[in-house]
């Protein structure tokens, strides 16, 4: 069965510092990988996705994630965070079927 592990439950970081949110998955088949962001009292919004092709994918607000098949990882990075990036981030994996498996989430807290 597929599983997703987000290695950090909380990540505090100062504004303008770089950040990495770690995600590892386990699967024996080809997978599609996603990062979602959730602001308080809102639903999940898709941040970026890896479907195929280039292993480095980027979002419009400066986040990027790299698919590493050998390490079964899909870590999320941003070189300089803003206060507005404070949110919960979920890594997710899908194998093309109906179900999506979500990690437990990482709460990013950006301090001034």
Partner 1 sequence: DGGITQSPKYLFRKEGQNVTLSCEQNLNHDAMYWYRQDPGQGLRLIYYSQIVNDFQKGDIAEGYSVSREKKESFPLTVTSAQKNPTAFYLCASGTPTNQPQHFGDGTRLSIL
Q: In b/e form, how buried is each residue of 29-64, taking b as 16+ CB within 10 angstroms?
A: eebebbbbbbeeeeebeebbbbeeeeeebebeeebe
Q: Binding to partner 1 by residue 32, rule CB under 8 A?
A: yes
Binding mask 58-87 for partner 1 (x = CB under 8 A): ------------------------------
Q: Which structure tokens are listed for 57?
A: 């994918």
State the minimum distance, in angstroms, from the CB of residue 37 to partner 1: 11
Q: Which stretch binds partner 1 (CB under 8 A): 15-23, 43-51, 59-67, 73-81?
A: 43-51
Q: Are 34 and 94 in contact (CB under 8 A)?
A: yes
Residues of the shown chain interacting with partner 1 in the complex, contacts defined by CB under 8 A: 9, 32, 34, 36, 41-46, 49, 51-52, 90, 92, 94, 96-100, 102-105
């Amino acid at each position: 069965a597929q599983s997703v592990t987000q290695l950090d439950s909380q990540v505090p970081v100062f504004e303008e510092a770089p950040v990495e949110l770690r995600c590892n998955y386990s699967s024996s088949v080809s997978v599609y990988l996603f990062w979602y962001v959730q602001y308080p009292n809102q639903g999940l919004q898709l941040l970026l996705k890896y479907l195929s092709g280039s292993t480095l994918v980027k979002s419009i607000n400066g986040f990027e994630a790299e698919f590493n098949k050998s390490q079964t990882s899909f870590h999320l990075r941003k070189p300089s965070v803003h206060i507005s990036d404070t949110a919960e981030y979920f890594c997710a994996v899908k194998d093309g079927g109906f179900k999506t498996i979500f990690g437990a989430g990482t709460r990013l807290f950006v301090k001034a």
